[in-house]
Chain A
Amino acid sequence: MRIRLSVNGQVYARDVEEHRTLLRFLREDLGLPGTKEGCGMGECGACTVIYNGRAVNACMVLAVEADGATIETIEGEAKGDSLSDIQAAFERNHAVQCGFCTPGMVMSVKELLRENPKPDDDEIKEAIEGNFCRCTGYTQIIEAVRDLTGRSGEKGGLEHV
């Protein structure tokens, strides 16, 4: 089936198999492998992309459903060598270790901050509750988001992460 969609501001028109997921389509058909496949069934959030403004798991969307959609992925963040604000905050706060969850984590944070520029800790935790990180213990990620909202250096109060 022929689909047409916008990914990071660029419009693509492609023929795609009807049973192909959006995740596979992005990675293999469009050559955008930044979005990761972890569990492939909506548990881990490694495949999180922004779909018409909302963070979703790309492993549970068919590419054909995305006909006409506007998609944002991690490849839309850095401009050349210049990291996006979210990426820079992750780097500054040591919020990346192995990096596998990071693309999805960044997209969840991007949706959160667009809708709620001053989230409290509970709102940050809720926004990333569908993104599993097995390295950082989440603390540095939450600190990175605090940093983005002008609360850098606040280290305490994360005992219930």
Chain B
Amino acid sequence: MLYEFRYLSPRTLPDLLATLAEHAADGQVLAGGTDLLPNIRNGIRKPAFVIDSKLYPGAADLRWSESEGLHIGPAATISDVMRNKTARELFPTLCACAHELASHQVRNRATVAGNVVNASPCSDMAPALLCLGARAIVERAGGDRRELAFAGFFAGVKKTVLRPGEYLSGIVVPASAAKAKGRYLKLKRIAGHDLGIVGVLMTEKDGVLRFGVSSAAPTPVLVETVARKDGPEEAVRKVLASVSPIDDVRSTKAYREHMIGVYVRRLLEEVR
């Protein structure tokens, strides 16, 4: 059923980075596999090498420090975040978005890093990482390392700014975003496992409102222009000005815009 590829299992981060450099053109990172393996099965992806990124020590760690914040290792699963005491207490909106992602079985396997690296417009973790001001740690063989905000991470549908051979080796949710309140409203066809038609996260901390919107533009969108004093119609206008929903198999542009408005008004009511 799956065509023949080679499975590579580097056991240290330097080995992983070297393997990624060597196979930048013909390799694919395997983290949770919940996106990659169905795509291989369906012939959408045809890597010659599948490179398991979960095997080096610490890859799945979740670490909290007051100076840095919450470090999410690249192999940490969606469930790992939802079960983590610090994440639940300090970053409830991160857990709220995690809770809406796919099914229980998928959450037990899929990783936070994979959800953002895939750069699907309907990523459920991206709204939280955008609103909380999270940063991506990006490494490459030879010691190159850079950090960038998720606000500049997504480049288009299924595209990120990662360059060939670069690896998302961690995600940092800053301590300054701790205890941000909020809620994620995701519209889907059934109550359980489904892709979103549209999703809106609103976070509020120290009187500052942020909206993270999924399934409404080529990339997940961060909206920082809504002020607390704005009326609901003004807030809806500002959010809609930042997105560009389309007609597709799951919904229409008009319905998506309508529901974004409904969700923004509903979320604002909760902070007033």
Contacts and interface: CB of A to CB of B under 8 A. Distances in A.
Interface stretch (A54-62, A72-80, A83-91): A54-62
A130 B33 contact: no
B105 A48 contact: yes
Contact of B1 (A21, A56, A160): A21
A18 interface: yes
B1 A24 contact: yes
B36 to A, nearest CB: 9
B255 interface: no
A45 B5 contact: no
Contacts of A40: 1, 38, 41
B12 interface: no
B104 A126 contact: yes
B157 interface: no
Given A40-B41, A41-B38, A45-B103, A61 B7 contact: no
A58 to B, nearest CB: 9
A45 B37 contact: no
B83 to A, nearest CB: 9
A108 to B, nearest CB: 7
A1 interface: yes
Nearest to A58: B105
Interface residues of B, number: 30
Interface in A16-35: 17-21, 24
A42 interface: yes
A129 interface: yes
Task: Describe B's contact surface by its main secondary structure.
Answer: loop
Contacts of B9: 64
A57 B105 contact: yes
Contact of A45 (B3, B4, B33, B105): B105
B108 interface: yes
Interface residues of A, number: 32
B109 interface: yes
B104 A60 contact: no
B1 A65 contact: no
A43 B38 CA distance: 10
Contacts of A20: 2
A127 interface: yes
B42 A42 contact: no
Contact of A130 (B1, B41, B192): B192
Contact of B33 (A1, A65, A129): A65
Interface in B1-50: 1-7, 9, 30, 32-34, 37-38, 41-42, 50
Nearest to A41: B38
Contacts of B42: 41
A62 B9 CA distance: 12
Interface string B75-117: 0000100000000000000000000001111101100000000
B211 to A, nearest CB: 26
Nearest to A21: B2
B104 A18 contact: no
Contacts of B257: none
Nearest to B32: A60
Interface in A86-108: 108
Given A1-B7, A42-B38, A55-B104, 13 more contacts: A18-B4, A21-B2, A24-B1, A40-B38, A42-B34, A51-B108, A54-B79, A55-B108, A57-B34, A62-B37, A62-B50, A126-B192, A129-B104
**Closest 5 A/B residue pairs (Cβ):** A130-B103, A129-B192, A41-B38, A18-B7, A54-B108
